[in-house]
Amino acid sequence: MLTLIAVNVFGYLISTFLLWKRLKEDYSSQQIFNTAFYILIGLLVFYFAGSKLIYPYWFWFSLVGIILGLSLGIYRFHLKAYETIEASISGLLIWLALIFLTDSVVNSSLFSFAGFATVTAITGIYYFLDSHYHNFTWYKSGKIGFSGLATAGIFFLVRAIIAGIYPYVLSFSGKYEVYLSAIASFIFFLLTYNLSRIKI
């Protein structure tokens, strides 16, 4: 239990640091750290609510909490939505990877280690896209946000594929995981497409 708490605290600190690093040029530290705090509160409230109500769906409850906390920060501090979402993605992926790695070690879970490896690979894709998306001739708008939205779409697409084969990974919710992840993937890819059409 203490190990899991320590890992989550470390994951939150990394996530907050990366959020601050990406947004510090445009917003004050207070705005950024308060937004990170809203994300944490949203995650905790919905995680514990999900754990009490329908435990297998804790990941999705947590995701809703994260989205609500992030949305509150964007609304209250007038942050740019796409840029803030982009800034939060890498930290949240690293946080999730740490959770998978911890579970794989503590419970000797091969599925959780596979989850760790998969999330780590997707994090690598995020940084690759972040470094090269300006060179994509088909991405006409060139706006910030592509890397985060595209990576989120890939993440949930991979979840949907894996859930159809191995439904027993730590954060999976059972037989409906394929549909939930597929819907989330479609939404993020749709947002990516819409962003690509926005004129600068």
- 17-31 pLDDT, tens digit per residue, is 999 999 999 999 999
Pick the range with the lowest mean pLDDT from 73-77, 139-143, 144-148.
139-143
CB-based contacts of 129, cutoff 8 Å, min separation 6: 146, 147, 150, 151
Nearest one of 14, 161, 37, 185 to 98, comparing CA atoms: 14
CA distances from 64 to 15, 25, 86, 98, 123 (A): 17, 28, 17, 20, 21
- pLDDT value for 77: 95
Tell me the Cα Rg of the chain.
Answer: 17
Residue range 100-117, pLDDT digits in tens: 899 889 888 888 888 899
More confident residue, 134 or 64: 64
Which amino acid is present at 22? R
Neighbours of 56 (CB within 10 A): 15
Q: Quick one: angle between helices 58-77 and 81-106, nearest 10?
A: 150
Tokens of 179: 């549909």
Beta strands in 59-180 (DSSP E): none
CA distance 93 to 189: 17
- Asked if the model's pLDDT at residue 167 lies above 90, the reply is no
Nearest one of 148, 159, 152 to 182, comparing CA atoms: 159
Asked if residues 30 and 77 have their Cβ atoms less than 8 Å apart, the reply is no
DSSP state of 143: -
28, exposed or middle or buried, with CB in 10 Å at 0-12, 13-18, 19+? exposed
H or E element in which residue 107 lies: none
Domain residue ranges of the chain, discontinuous segments joined by +: 2-197
- pLDDT value for 4: 82
